[in-house]
Every structure is written in structure tokens, then in C-alpha cells.
Amino acid sequence: MYPVLRAQEGFTLTEMMLVVAFVGALTAIAVPMTGEIRASVKLNEAARQVQGELAGARLRAVSSNRSLRVRTNCPSTGFVRTVEVVGTAAIDEASNRCMQSAYPFPPDNDLMTRPNYDGPTRPLPDGATVSTVNLQFQPDGTVLKVVANVVTALDAEQTITISRLGQSKTVKVNAAGKIKLQ
């Protein structure tokens, strides 16, 4: 009897090359998309951070019965900080008001000295920028606008634009203190 020859199992070179080409094509498509997704995630993170800073300032203003200001690009581009309104022009309008070296976080625990409700200087995620805005949250939760150290009522929604790599998101704040991320 002659031995029965069995077919060898496996893949041909042609089949292997087709699989490699298919995986290469998928990779070529996926790599640029992951970069776009990462950029979008960083922009959303920056927008949520600005929204969170505004919401946190409003909450602290109401709970502490103090006026607080949220200042963007403070002390420089891409930063945001909440500071307490003391009512003294020398402090509220100081050029170093955003500097943690001059007004540290956390502040001292002595309630007799002010400011006591300054927050940390928060950087936005890498490469994100924010439009320059200075909003003041009142103890009743309402919002005022501060321009050139003059406090005025909001006559329309205040729009804050957060940008990164050519994309942008907006956060809108109305006079009643409602904050919307768009």
C-alpha cells in the first residue's frame, strides 16, 4: 500500500500578503483619526474645565456669601483663576492679583484677613486658549461683567470661547448665573 498524502494546512503567500495589505490600509486610515479624536478630547476637557471653574465660583459665592471673580488668561494665556472680591481697589485691581506668589492658594485660615476664597491658578490642557473674560459672581448667584475694573450688569449672555488647534467650543453665562457648554 502506498501512503496517503495529506494536504499541508496553512496559508499561502498570496493570502498572507492580502492580510498584511488589509491591516496596513486600516492602520493608515486609523492613525490620522486618532489624532483628531485626541485633539477633540483635549478641547472638550478645556471647555469642561472652564465651565467647572465658573460653576464652582458661583457655588462658592453663594455658599460663602462673598463675591468672587473668575478671570481667564490669568496670570497668562491659557490659565483661569477664581479670586475673591475684597472691595478694595488696591487688591481687586492689582496687576499681580492672579499671581499665586502674591495671593497664595490655599490662603491663610484667618477669617479676619482677606482674601480667603482665592482658588488655584489652573492651566488649560496643552495648547488650549480661552477668550479674556472677567466675570463676578454675586452671593445671590447672579453674574456681573468686569471690564477695565468697572463692574456692570450683563445685558446679554456672555460668551467665552475656548480654542485648540483650529477648533473651538463656547461656554455661555447669563445674568442669572446659568452656565451652558456648547
Which CATH number fits the domain that encloses residue 104?
A: 3.55.40.10
Q: Residue 25 to residues 12, 17, 28, 98: CA-CA distances in angstroms?
A: 20, 12, 5, 50
Could you tell me the residue range of the domain that residue 57 belongs to?
A: 13-181
Number of structural domains found in the chain: 1
Q: Is residue 161 part of a domain?
A: yes
Rounded Cα distance between 51 and 32, Å, is 29
Q: Is residue 8 part of a domain?
A: no
pLDDT in tens, 41-90: 889 999 999 999 999 999 999 999 999 999 999 888 999 999 999 888 87
Q: Is residue 67 part of a domain?
A: yes
pTM of the model: 0.78
Average pLDDT, the chain: 87
Segment 159-168 mean pLDDT? 91
Segment 28-48 mean pLDDT? 82
Q: Is the Cβ–Cβ distance between 53 and 122 less than 8 Å?
A: yes
> Which has the higher per-residue pLDDT, 148 or 20?
20
